[in-house]
Structure 1
Amino acid sequence: MTALRGLWPEVQDTCTSLGLMLSIVLSVALARGVLRQQMHRPVAHAFVLEFLATFQLCCCTHELQLLSEQEPAHPTWALTLIYFFSLVHGLTLVGTSSNPCGVMMQMMLGGMTPEIGAMRLLAQLIGALCSRYCIGALWSLGLTSALLHFEEVRTKLRIHLLAALITFLVYSGGSLTGAVFNPALALSLHFKCFDEAFLRFFIVYWLAPSLGILLMILTFSFFIPWLHNDHTTNKKE
C-alpha cells in the first residue's frame, strides 16, 4: 500500500500530461475542421494549417520531453509514448510537414510555389515560438506535470514505419543531440540555447538538417538517375 501511494503522484502527473496532449490534438483537429469549411484562400489556408500542425507537434514534444525526464533510467514508457504520438501526428496532421526542411525540399523539387513555401516557413516559426510560450504558461499555472482498404492500409503502414523510425532515432541519438531533427522543433525546445550559443546550435539543428535534405535531393534526383543511365549505356555498348 505504501508503494502504491509513493507511485501515485507520478501516475497522476503522467495522466495529466497525457490529458493535456490529447486535448491539444483534439483542439487542433477541431480547428482544422472549422478551417476547412470557412477558409478558402490557399495562402491563408496553408499558413493556418502549418501553424496548427507545428503548434501541436511542439507542444506535445515539450510534454514528452518532460515525461522522459521523470524516468531517465527506464526509457521504455517514454519511447512508447513517442511512438504513439508519432502515429497521432501522422494521422491528424495530413497535408502539413511541421518541418522547414520538408518545405524547402518541396520548393527545391518544384512541388510548392515560393509564396506558399514562405508562408509555411513563417507559420512554422510562429507555431514553434507560440507553443513554447503557451506550454510555459500552462506549466506556470500548474496544469501539467511540469510542476513536478489498400491505399488506406498502405498509408497507415507508412505512418507506422515512420513512427518506428522516429522512435529508433530518438533512442539511438537522443543522448547526443536530443534526437531533434526538425529545425522548428529545435527552436521551440532549445530557444535559450540558440540565444546563448547561436552559431553552434544553428549548425547542429538548422544547417545540418538542411544539408541533409539537400544531399537527399541531389542523391535521388541526380546521382541515382545518373548511375542508372550510365549503367544502361554500358549495357547497350
Structure 2
Amino acid sequence: MGYPMGLRTERIAREVECLARMFGVPFEFIAGLGADERTMIGAGARKNVPVLVSVPQLIGGGMVGLCIGDAISLKQRSAMIAKILGEAGVIVESAIALSQEIHDGPFEVYTGHGIWSAWEGVRTFSLEGKTLIRIDLDPTLEEAWQAERKGGSVQEAINKGLPKTKFLKVPFRMEMSGFARLENSIPIREDIGIIWPIIGFRVADELGISLDFISYPQETPDGKKMREWIVDNIRILDKKVMYERTKELKR
C-alpha cells in the first residue's frame, strides 16, 4: 500500500494484465515468471503448477485484484480452479475469507451450484468423498459443523428454506453451509501462524523431506527473524526477467 512500492505494484499489475491477455494465460503465471522462485507464484510458474486467486478474493486487492480478474474471463478462471479442486485428494482452506467457490462453486455438483452446468454438458467436479480442512479462528464454524454432525441441522434448514442463523442460533457465514455438510470436512480452530508450521513439519517428516526453511508465528522472536530474512533475501518482481521469459512463450 505504501509509496513507492504500492504505486509500483499497481502500475506493474497493468503491464502483467496486458501480457496475460496477449498470451491467453492467467495473470499469476505471467507475474510468476518475474517473481523470486521461492515465492508461491514464482515456484508455480517454473514448475508449471497453477497458482490461482479464487474469484471471491479478487475484490480488495486494489488495481492488482482488478487486473487479475480482467486477465482471463471469470468462467475460465472458475473452470481452472474447478479442475484443480477436482484433481485434489485433500483441500485446505486457510486464510481465505470467502470460500464459496470451493463448496458452493459454479462447477461443483455435490454441495455447489454446478448441477445445471453438468446437465448442459459442461465439465464439472464433485467434492463427495474428498477431505476438506478449514483452518479458522471463528468458533461458530465448529459449532455449525458439530450441529450438522449431531442432527443434520444445516441441511434441515436448507430443506425448509429457513435462515440458518435463526435456525442454528449462531452467526452463520455463507461458506459454513457447504463445509458443514461435507462428510469428510475437518475444522481446525487455530491461528494459521501457529498451525501451519506444525502441519508442514509433520507432512515433511512423513514424506522424508528435509526442510531448509520453516515459518514461525510472526509475533515470536523467531517469527520476526523470519520476516527480516524474507525482506533481505526474497527478491521483488523483476520486470526485465518477466519480459524476457515471456519471449519463450507461444501465442
| TM-score class, shorter | under 0.3
Higher RCO (CA 8 Å, separation ≥ 6 residues) = 1
- Give TM-score, length-normalised by structure 1: 0.21
TM-score normalised by L of structure 2: 0.20
Structure number with higher strand proportion: 2
Relative to its length, the structure with more helix (as a share) is: 1
